[in-house]
């Protein structure tokens, strides 16, 4: 029932449809160690300001200058945006954002990763070593600080 982030991450979808429409999976390649979500940033990377709890949310489908400043190049939508506009080859995405998506896609495909067409940021190793295994292990906070 929690819809606090709807306005930003799935403004045009019903939460109940996120699994059915393929935006969220019951089992994810991320837990196989073969799938990553990533974007492009300009170097040197500019610091990203933190989200301030309570600040107004902006739809992930809004123009880049209106969305939360995540320091990535314009990809046409925000990261983790559940919308048809996030489909990698969506023809409605304007020039520079479309070119950025194609740069990401062509570069990663050239090194053996495959794009999930509904999410421009989602890539899986084509010849993954554990295609049917979903690892379940705890991640300790201390190990992330190293």
Name the residues annotated as catalytic: 119
124-132 long-range contacts, Cβ below 8 Å, gap at least 24? Answer: 124/29, 124/34, 124/35, 125/34, 125/35, 128/29, 128/32, 128/34, 129/34, 130/32, 130/33, 130/34, 131/32, 131/34
Take residue 91 and report the two structure tokens written for it: 């023809």
Coil, helix or strand for 16? helix
Q: Which among 112, 45, 119 is positioned nearest to 75, based on CA atoms?
A: 119
């Amino acid at each position: 029932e929690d819809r606090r982030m709807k306005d930003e991450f799935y403004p045009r979808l019903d939460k109940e449809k996120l699994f059915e429409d393929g935006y969220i999976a019951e089992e994810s390649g991320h837990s196989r160690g073969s799938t990553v979500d990533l974007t492009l940033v300009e170097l040197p990377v500019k610091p990203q300001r933190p989200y301030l709890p309570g600040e107004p949310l902006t739809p992930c489908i809004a123009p880049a200058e209106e969305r939360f400043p995540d320091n990535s190049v314009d990809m046409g939508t925000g990261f983790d945006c559940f919308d048809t506009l996030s489909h990698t080859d969506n023809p409605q995405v304007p020039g520079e954002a479309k070119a950025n998506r194609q740069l990401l896609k062509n570069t990663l495909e050239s090194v053996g990763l495959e794009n999930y067409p509904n999410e421009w940021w989602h890539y899986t190793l084509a010849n993954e070593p554990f295609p049917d295994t979903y690892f379940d292990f705890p991640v300790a906070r201390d190990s992330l600080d190293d």
